[in-house]
Structure 1
């Protein structure tokens, strides 16, 4: 054999020797002082303390400001105008416009929201650049700013144009009373169409107040029924019956008391 032509042994570093195997020990982060801490109890205790502070604050808010409950839902009340929660007000306002309501309701309820949310979902796939600065990601930044501006404007318009007084009146919890529907005064009340505004149980609605515990005398009730109210909510001339019927109606309404 010539020099340099002998046998050679080649080792593969990818196959560790059995005697050199080590257990799966996690990396030691002790070289980063002040950056780490034990999960139990240090980190978990801090998380619990922060959570407890927010929980106590939330409970204090619920006690100080109870939820604005309304009267029991009545499916027969066709005058009730529902109001969505604040995070859906922009869609509620969108359906008020002529191009998104009536015969175009599908456009306002499905097409426009579908395009808007679809654009937000596709934004990360359209702009896949590695940059993190908003100025260097025009498509993603533009989509987000446009969405925020649109939602903010529609929400503001919905709040500004909503009739809050009528909403508070229609949802107000009123006293209940046992109404004698067989009474002659109630039949006159029903025959003159008073139910459409004041309700079949005299509970009131968005267009008219409740007629339970009014505190009015029969003469005062008759005056309002004939000549309207001073506030203008009830115009004059709505009652079309005789004076005798008006007297019976006034006596009936004046006698309605809560349970």
Structure 2
């Protein structure tokens, strides 16, 4: 260390900040005593797992961006034709809760008992499977739990989706997100037609209710028609349920009675249901007569 400006002054270096080159190389750890293990967990194995996770995450993000989430109509609690369905990764649990021994009186078993057993088995697996063997066919406990879980989830998912498709076909229902997409394409086609400019046609004013003070209006309020067509008889256009205002221009009294008995389109017959709600055959006939008088003025 220098203390002056003399050129012949002795300089003494204290310490050395230079990084020295290591003369010895790292010797890989010997894993011969551990069958199936050939590398250290940190950082070798952990780095490989992290890279695989990154690739899977990028693939999921690509699918999310390329396929937009399907959207249906706004929620309508009065739409009895709607079939609620969870996302695909919850279909197995959705199907499990349909069975008699996991629903109704046994709903606690289906919502708490079965998931508790499944998660409990996962928590106990490391304590039950303490061997050093890494080959799956020599790890009976862990392998049995894994295959049982995969088979159960796959089976319940397939059965749930098959039942959903069969129910759609039986009730002749088009899922809302598909119906909404078809309507969107249809609206795009009509907006660019001969009218030009993409302007929407003016909405037609709904017809007024004919004879709102008629006793049959009180019968309507007690009938099953109210739950779908509404107290204002405007129906639910979003769910393809027509309005009853002006229905007399389309159907006569006898035709309306036939619809109440036999149903029409996706609507089943409502005669027995109305009888069950306390209406008499004479009141149902009076209701049909009142509906037949609902004409545009």
TM-score normalised per structure 2? 0.53
CA distance in 1, matches of 2:122, 2:151: 14
CA distance in 1, matches of 2:211, 2:134: 75
CA distance in 1, matches of 2:268, 2:23: 80
1:103 to partner: Cα distance:
1.2
Residue number in structure 1 paired with 2:288? 246
Structure 2 unpaired stretches of 5+:
1-13, 26-53, 184-202, 275-280
Residue number in structure 1 paired with 2:236? 203
Describe the shift of the 1:134–1:213 C-alpha distance in structure 2 as closer, same or farther (beyond 3 A): farther
- CA RMSD in angstroms comes to 4.9
Residue number in structure 1 paired with 2:65? 59
Say which of 204, 207, 223 aligns to 1:192.
Answer: 223
Residue number in structure 2 paired with 1:145? 147
Residue correspondence of structure 1 range 1-259 to structure 2 within 5 A: 23=19, 58-62=64-68, 67-75=69-77, 81-162=83-164, 163-164=167-168, 168=173, 171=176, 184=212, 187=217, 189-200=220-231, 201-203=234-236, 210-212=241-243, 218-220=249-251, 222-228=253-259, 229=263, 231=265, 233-235=267-269, 237=271, 240=281, 241=283, 245-250=287-292, 252=294
Which whole-Å deviations, capped at 9, do the CAs of 1:68-105 have from their partners, x for residues lacking one?
Answer: 32221235667755322111111111111111111111
CA distance in 1, matches of 2:254, 2:175: 24
Worse-superposed segment, 155-164 or 139-148: 155-164
Describe the shift of the 1:244–1:205 C-alpha distance in structure 2 as closer, same or farther (beyond 3 A): same
Q: Is the 8 A contact 1:199 1:205 kept in 2?
A: no
CA distance in 2, matches of 1:140, 1:156: 24
Describe the shift of the 1:192–1:215 C-alpha distance in structure 2 as closer, same or farther (beyond 3 A): closer
Q: Is the 8 A contact 1:123 1:139 kept in 2?
A: yes
Residue number in structure 1 paired with 2:39? none
CA distance in 2, matches of 1:115, 1:160: 27
CA distance in 2, matches of 1:129, 1:181: 78
1:20 to partner: Cα distance:
9.1
Residue number in structure 2 paired with 1:6? none
Equivalenced residues, count: 212
Describe the shift of the 1:137–1:27 C-alpha distance in structure 2 as closer, same or farther (beyond 3 A): farther
Describe the shift of the 1:198–1:145 C-alpha distance in structure 2 as closer, same or farther (beyond 3 A): farther
Which whole-Å deviations, capped at 9, do the CAs of 1:172-206 have from their partners, x for residues lacking one?
Answer: 6699x979679629936434330234455511799
1:56 to partner: Cα distance:
6.2
